[in-house]
Structure 1
């Protein structure tokens, strides 16, 4: 049994794509997952599943169940505990950075094409930095001037990379890594 987290894109922000965490836990448990827990109200569900299923299949199953049961069509990205542990250990911006809110991770539905990844650039005049993680499915983000007003947003990444993405701040990534530890 491997611990995973499913990260839902764009839920519970604004008036659209509302989902209760009790419903999210119920759906994940209904798919046969064990020890199902949610973290925050932003669409993070942690669960145990057979590692043979694989992240892509798990994400597809959750996405279909959300559509079937709640008429909600949202992108779902799944990462294993070991993948999150690797992200924690590999963050190039963590050393000496006391402000966790200035570090984020973009979780991509799949690795972008090589040309799109190579062409990705921070908009002119911004201090943001990024680096792809080893798998190519995750992007470390650093915003020395803060994320709130940056044009280098999740929507910008999706448009430039042509891949669905969801972003979590570093505090959330660390918490999810702790919740999925112990595979």
Structure 2
């Protein structure tokens, strides 16, 4: 049985797209996942997949079930437990003083290199932020905070060719999610 992490984008933020965690756990269970745990109200789910489906098929099932239950679309990035641990292990700034200033932006698919490079080139002059990119994860260190970062703003608006965007989690949240795996 495989453990998976579902990262929901844009729920319970600013009073929009309210999704109670108990209701979310019920929806996750309805698609066949078990041993479901949520972490904080922003849409972090850890669960067991007894059928060992692909992360893409689980993502599609969960997005459809959420749309059916709550009446609005919620983009989901689904990550296997092994991949999630590897991503955390690859954090370029694991010893930063404030883990809330380091974020991993998870994209639902590989980011085309030219697209990522173009986004990064537009904000490289911001010398206070640092960035490190993998094929589907971008690490961002924003010492002044995520909300004031031009680089974070640009990367969060980065839209993949299929229209999907990434979702960010700070290092503290990533560690808490990993502890539930």
Confirm or deny that 1:37 pairs with 2:37: yes
Q: Per-residue deviation at 1:169?
A: 0.7
> Which residue number corresponds to residue 18 of structure 1?
18
- More displaced 10-residue stretch of structure 1: 110-119 or 2-11: 110-119
Per-residue CA distance 1:91-144 (angstroms, 9 max, x = gap) = 1111x41211111110101111121122231623352111123xx111111112
**Within 1, Cα distance between the matches of 2:156 and 2:39?**
24
> Which residue number corresponds to residue 160 of structure 1?
158
> Which residue number corresponds to residue 132 of structure 2?
131
Q: TM-score scaled to structure 1, two decimals? A: 0.89
Per-residue CA distance 1:69-101 (angstroms, 9 max, x = gap) = 21120110011111111112111111x412111
Per-residue CA distance 1:42-89 (angstroms, 9 max, x = gap) = 011111004641111111110000111211201100111111111121
Q: Structure 1, unaligned stretches of length 5 or more?
A: none
Tell me the number of residue pairs that the alignment of Structure 1 and Structure 2 aligns: 176
SS state at 1:86 partner: helix
**Within 1, Cα distance between the matches of 2:78 and 2:158?**
22
Contact 1:8-1:43 within 8 A present in 2 as well: yes
**Within 1, Cα distance between the matches of 2:71 and 2:49?**
24
RMSD: 1.7
Contact 1:158-1:165 within 8 A present in 2 as well: yes
Structure 2 matches for 1:10-159, cutoff 5 A?
A: 10-50=10-50, 52-94=52-94, 96-121=95-120, 123=123, 124-133=125-134, 136-153=135-152, 155-159=153-157
Per-residue CA distance 1:1-50 (angstroms, 9 max, x = gap) = 11111110010001211100011000011111110111100011111004
SS state at 2:24 partner: helix
Contact 2:5-2:84 within 8 A present in 1 as well: no
Q: Structure 2, unaligned stretches of length 5 or more?
A: none
CA 47–10 in structure 1, closer or farther in 2 if over 3 Å, else same? same
Q: TM-score scaled to structure 2, two decimals? A: 0.90
